[in-house]
């Protein structure tokens, strides 16, 4: 991608493939969230999700946000295994479960990523240039950087709020402060990974 100046505003112009680093950051945080592995349409998976969701007011709020509006006796029948939710309500229950699960792990994610002030080392895989003509390719390498400070708290807060603009701004701050003059080549990436 020689000959381009500044940030890669039109990533696909030369057929490079990637996503904004803010998107990759959110995907990385998503991968840290674990939960019930049994599918929602299995007896065990449904029962576990229903128990989790009905154990707190926050669970009922998550169901409401997901669009689950059933009579109390229907919910009781679901809990007792006497009635199975429709396919649409199964999908809503699964969405409500993951929404609540994400909310419940925010503090733990921040703690893990901050790592007692040491931060988390991340690996940045540059955009995929395999379809870019050789004369337009840039010399990009996988980069490893350590991210520490309030950045992780901001990132997790933006992730839970689904604030894409803030995640993009956070990513830009990260790469500008750690990669020097080469930062714009890593605005878009193939992926970001870490072990935390």
> Does residue 65 belong to any structural domain of this protein?
yes
**Residues 93, 63 contacting (CB under 8 angstroms):** yes
Contact status, residue 193 vs residue 123, Cβ threshold 8 Å: yes
Could you tell me if residue 100 is inside a domain?
Answer: yes
Two structure tokens written together for 115: 């790592």
Q: If you count them, how many residues does the chain have?
A: 196
Residue partners of 188: CB distance under 8 A and separation at least 6:
8, 11, 16, 18, 19, 20, 21, 127
- For residue 141, the model assigns a pLDDT of 86
Antiparallel, parallel or unpaired: β 120-126 and 19-20: unpaired
Structural domain including 175 reads 11-33+116-194
DSSP state of 29: H
Does residue 124 sit in the same domain as residue 168?
Answer: yes
Where in the chain does DSSP place strands (E)? Answer: 19-20, 120-126, 143-147, 188-194
Q: Is there a single domain that holds both residue 79 and residue 143?
A: no
In a domain, 172, yes or no: yes
In a shared domain, residues 87 and 153? no
**Are 104 and 127 part of one and the same domain?**
no
Only one residue has tokens 């059933």, namely 70
The residue out of 57, 86, 112 marking a domain boundary is 112
Tens digit of each residue's pLDDT, the chain (196 residues)? 333 344 455 555 566 778 899 999 999 999 999 999 999 999 999 999 999 999 999 999 999 999 999 999 999 999 999 999 999 999 999 999 999 999 999 999 999 999 999 999 999 998 777 777 777 677 778 899 999 989 999 999 999 999 999 999 999 999 999 998 888 888 889 999 998 7
Q: What phi, psi does 63 have (nearest 5°)?
A: -65, -40
User: Same domain, yes or no, for 188 and 167?
Assistant: yes
Residue 6 inside a domain? The answer is no
| Overall domain count for the chain | 2
Rounded to the nearest angstrom, the gap between the alpha carbon of residue 74 and the centroid of all alpha carbons in its chain is 33
pLDDT in tens, 127-177: 777 777 777 677 778 899 999 989 999 999 999 999 999 999 999 999 999
In this structure, are 106 and 120 located in the same domain?
no
Do both 98 and 151 map to the same domain? no
- Per the structure block, which two tokens stand in for 120? 């988390």
Same structural domain for residues 66 and 157?
Answer: no
Residue 3 placed within a domain: no
56 and 96 housed in the same domain:
yes
User: Which 3 state secondary structure label does DSSP give 128?
Assistant: strand
Q: Which of 62, 93, 112 is the last residue of a domain?
A: 112
1 inside domain: no
User: Given 80, 97, 112, which residue is the final one in a domain?
Assistant: 112
Q: Are residues 50 and 104 in the same domain?
A: yes
Determine, yes or no, domain membership for 48. Answer: yes
SS3 84: coil
């Amino acid at each position: 991608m020689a000959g381009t100046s500044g940030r890669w505003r039109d990533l696909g112009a030369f057929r490079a493939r990637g996503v904004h680093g803010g998107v990759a950051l959110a995907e990385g945080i998503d991968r840290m969230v674990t939960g019930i592995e049994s599918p929602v349409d299995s007896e065990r998976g449904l029962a576990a999700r229903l128990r989790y969701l009905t154990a707190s007011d926050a669970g009922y709020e998550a169901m409401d946000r997901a669009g689950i509006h059933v009579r109390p006796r229907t919910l009781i029948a679901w809990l007792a295994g006497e009635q199975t939710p429709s396919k649409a309500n199964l999908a809503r229950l699964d969405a409500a479960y993951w929404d609540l699960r994400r909310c419940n792990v925010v503090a733990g994610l921040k703690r893990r990523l901050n790592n007692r002030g040491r931060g988390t080392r991340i690996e940045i895989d540059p955009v995929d240039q395999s379809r870019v003509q050789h004369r337009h390719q840039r010399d990009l390498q996988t980069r490893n950087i350590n991210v520490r400070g309030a950045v992780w708290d901001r990132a997790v807060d933006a992730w839970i709020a689904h604030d894409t603009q803030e995640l993009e701004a956070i990513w830009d701050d990260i790469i500008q402060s750690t990669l020097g003059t080469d930062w714009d080549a890593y605005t878009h990436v193939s992926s970001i990974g870490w072990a935390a």
